[in-house]
């Protein structure tokens, strides 16, 4: 299987090579055409210059040409690739380059024909063009110019053209090499993080949940990829930690009551203790507590692990609180505590009615459990201005045993019970407030607690609500 890096390099390199080739060909064609036009124009203007120079050598007095000057010029033109001959009006040859220096002419002809055919594959040949020579509107003879057609390059022009082609070739090769280098770096920049992510995922799959990818990428997709892998690892790590902690917490919570139960029942079986109704009911009470603990744990696990699905409806919060308070009135009456709901009228919110009922049952139940005398007050109030955001706050206040700062900082942890609470044997397992906090969080709300040892506590639950 071809790697992503190689594939990218191959595609880039192929694309760049083709582009350079195409651009090179276009430039070559375009520059070639321009240069040919330029050279053709040059040949025409040189031909005109030859005509003028030869005409200048005509002496109207003697009606003849200055042959010495014509010869000097003629040989100069031969060097430039123009083999000329001059005839007078009667057709008699006045001067002919070939007859003057046959060897030189043959050399120039061969050199130009060779250059044009071999190097530029221009299949032309030496062509003769005849121009009438005119002096003061009277014909004075004829000029024959033999030159390579349709056009030819002089030595300098050929050198310029081959220099230009060499430059294009070197520039093209340099550009291709640089582009391939850049594409290798670019492809490596993309494939490396993907390989790293794959390696991290392999480590994670192998159980190494602490594996992470350094997330410093500025490319959005790569940043997303590394973040997803890291999030996946964190989620798995949290899950594993949660599982380990839960197992050890459960083992710890179950060990003591089970050992105690085992001891009691063994003592009764061995006949050390009489199985009185009182002892049996104490054992039953312990079993009931264990059952409640398992139920709470199950509920908490549903909340924490299975992403609680809320069945949201619109309802009056005060109505919910009123039914919770009613539920606890007999218990409060039994303990001699006053329980009141400060009802501020209808307070509509959107939430899961059953789950929120569970929240306030736990809070009010705690308030009664940890209050020996005095009162428990439940109150719901809505935020008044938009700048604070729209929310409503339910407070559950009691005048009970309260907590110090240290206790307060742990109350939302699973299985946490203050020493006072343990000594009181309230029957709680320290899960109630964890459940409360989880439900409130799932609703996008907030729970806060304030307390003073010996004076009471107040729990505040803030829930978002639509403005009226
Ligand atoms: P529990 O089932 O033990 O009550 P919770 O999670 O509901 O478990 O509460 C955790 C601990 O927080 C309690 O054991 C108790 O120490 C403390 N606590 C909770 N509510 C109150 C309260 N209203 N007054 C005093 N202490 C409280």
Q: What is the pLDDT of residues 271-326, one digit of tens each?
A: 888 888 988 888 898 888 888 888 887 877 777 665 667 888 999 999 999 999 99
- Pocket probe mutation, ligand 1, options 300, 337, 370, 422, max atoms within 8 Å of Cβ: 370
- Pocket probe mutation, ligand 1, options 363, 400, 411, 452, max atoms within 8 Å of Cβ: 411
> Residue 418: CB within 6 Å of ligand 1?
yes
Give the number of the atom of ligand 1 that is nearest the alpha carbon of residue 428: 2
Q: What is the pLDDT of residues 350-388, one digit of tens each?
A: 999 988 998 999 999 999 999 999 999 999 988 766 666
- Pocket probe mutation, ligand 1, options 292, 422, 432, 456, max atoms within 8 Å of Cβ: 432
Q: Please give the distance, rounded to the nearest whole angstrom, from the Cα atom of residue 161 to the centre of ligand 1.
A: 95
> Residue 436: CB within 6 Å of ligand 1?
no
Domains located in the chain, CATH noted: 4-170 (3.30.450), 220-303 (1.10.287.130), 308-464 (3.30.565.10)
> Residue 456: CB within 6 Å of ligand 1?
no
Give the number of the atom of ligand 1 that is nearest the alpha carbon of residue 434: 6
> Residue 367: CB within 6 Å of ligand 1?
yes
Q: Please give the distance, rounded to the nearest whole angstrom, from the Cα atom of residue 85 to the centre of ligand 1.
A: 125
Q: Please give the distance, rounded to the nearest whole angstrom, from the Cα atom of residue 418 to the centre of ligand 1.
A: 7
Q: For the chain, what is the mean pLDDT?
A: 87
Q: Compute the distance between CA of residue 84 and CA of residue 57 in angstroms, rounded to an integer.
A: 15
> Residue 365: CB within 6 Å of ligand 1?
no
Q: Compute the distance between CA of residue 140 and CA of residue 238 in angstroms, rounded to an integer.
A: 110
Whole-number pLDDT of residue 152: 83
Whole-number pLDDT of residue 307: 61
Place of tokens 């539920």: 327
Q: Whose CA is nearest to atom 2 of ligand 1?
A: 428
Q: Compute the distance between CA of residue 450 and CA of residue 181 in angstroms, rounded to an integer.
A: 65
Whole-number pLDDT of residue 175: 87
- Pocket probe mutation, ligand 1, options 359, 417, 451, max atoms within 8 Å of Cβ: 417
Whole-number pLDDT of residue 401: 93
Q: What are the structure tokens assigned to 371, written together?
A: 């209050």
Residue pLDDT tens, the chain, 468 long: 778 888 888 888 888 889 888 988 898 888 888 888 988 898 889 999 999 999 999 999 998 999 899 999 999 999 888 999 999 988 899 999 988 888 988 898 888 888 888 777 777 788 889 999 999 889 999 999 998 878 888 888 888 888 988 998 899 899 889 988 988 888 888 888 888 889 999 998 898 888 888 877 788 888 888 888 888 888 888 778 877 777 777 777 778 778 888 988 999 999 888 888 988 888 898 888 888 888 887 877 777 665 667 888 999 999 999 999 999 999 999 999 999 999 878 889 999 998 899 899 999 999 999 999 999 999 998 876 666 677 899 999 999 999 999 889 889 987 787 766 665 555 667 888 988 998 998 888 999 999 999 999 999 999 988 766
> Residue 368: CB within 6 Å of ligand 1?
no
> Residue 358: CB within 6 Å of ligand 1?
no
Q: Compute the distance between CA of residue 417 and CA of residue 428 in angstroms, rounded to an integer.
A: 8
Answer whether 216's CB lies under 8 Å from 201's CB.
no
Q: Please give the distance, rounded to the nearest whole angstrom, from the Cα atom of residue 430 to the centre of ligand 1.
A: 7
CA-angle at 322, arms to 398 and 374, nearest 5°: 25
- Pocket probe mutation, ligand 1, options 430, 437, 457, max atoms within 8 Å of Cβ: 430
> Residue 394: CB within 6 Å of ligand 1?
no
> Residue 403: CB within 6 Å of ligand 1?
yes
Place of tokens 């109630």: 432
> Residue 147: CB within 6 Å of ligand 1?
no
Beta carbons within 10 angstroms of residue 247's beta carbon: 10
Q: What is the pLDDT of residues 221-240, one digit of tens each?
A: 888 888 888 888 888 887 78
Q: Please give the distance, rounded to the nearest whole angstrom, from the Cα atom of residue 229 to the centre of ligand 1.
A: 39
């Amino acid at each position: 299987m071809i790697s992503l890096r190689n594939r990218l390099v191959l595609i880039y390199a192929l694309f760049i090579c083709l582009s350079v080739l195409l651009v090179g060909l276009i430039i070559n064609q375009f520059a070639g055409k321009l240069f040919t036009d330029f050279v053709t124009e040059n040949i025409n203007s040189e031909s005109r210059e030859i005509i003028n120079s030869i005409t200048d050598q005509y002496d109207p007095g003697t009606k003849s040409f200055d042959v010495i000057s014509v010869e000097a010029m003629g040989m100069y033109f031969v060097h430039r690739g123009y083999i000329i001959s001059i005839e007078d009006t009667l057709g008699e040859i006045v001067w002919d380059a070939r007859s003057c220096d046959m060897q030189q002419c043959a050399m120039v002809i061969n050199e130009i024909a060779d250059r044009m055919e071999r190097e530029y594959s221009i299949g032309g040949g030496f062509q003769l063009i005849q121009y009438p020579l005119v002096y003061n509107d009277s014909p004075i003879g004829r000029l024959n110019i033999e030159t390579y057609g349709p056009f030819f390059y002089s030595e300098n022009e050929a050198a310029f053209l081959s220099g230009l082609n060499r430059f294009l070739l070197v520039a093209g090769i340099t550009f291709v090499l640089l582009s391939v280098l850049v594409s290798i770096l670019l492809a490596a920049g993309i494939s490396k993080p993907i390989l790293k992510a794959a390696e991290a995922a392999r480590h994670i799959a192998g159980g190494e949940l602490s594996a992470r990818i350094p997330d410093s990428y500025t490319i959005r997709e790569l940043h997303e990829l590394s973040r997803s892998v890291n999030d996946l690892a964190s989620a798995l790590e949290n899950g594993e930690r949660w599982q380990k902690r839960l197992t050890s917490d459960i083992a710890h919570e179950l060990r003591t009551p089970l050992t105690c139960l085992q001891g009691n029942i063994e003592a009764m079986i061995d006949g050390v203790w009489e199985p009185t109704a009182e002892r049996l009911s104490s054992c039953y009470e312990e079993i009931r507590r264990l059952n409640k603990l398992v139920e709470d744990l199950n509920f908490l696990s549903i909340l924490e692990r299975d992403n609680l699905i809320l069945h949201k409806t619109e309802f009056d919060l005060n109505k919910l609180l009123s039914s919770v308070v009613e539920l606890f009135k007999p218990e409060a009456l039994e303990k001699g505590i006053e329980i009141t709901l400060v009802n501020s009228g209808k307070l509509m919110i959107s939430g899961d009615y059953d789950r929120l009922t569970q929240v306030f049952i736990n809070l009010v139940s705690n308030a009664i459990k940890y209050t020996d005398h005095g009162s428990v007050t439940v109150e719901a109030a809505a935020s008044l201005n938009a700048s604070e955001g729209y929310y409503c706050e339910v407070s559950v206040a009691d005048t009970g045993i309260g907590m110090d700062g240290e206790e307060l900082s742990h109350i939302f942890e699973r299985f946490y019970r203050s020493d006072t609470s343990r000594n009181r044997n309230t029957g709680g397992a320290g899960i109630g407030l964890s459940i409360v906090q989880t439900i409130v969080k799932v609703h996008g709300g907030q729970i806060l607690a304030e307390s003073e040892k010996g004076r009471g506590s107040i729990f505040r639950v803030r829930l978002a609500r639509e403005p009226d």
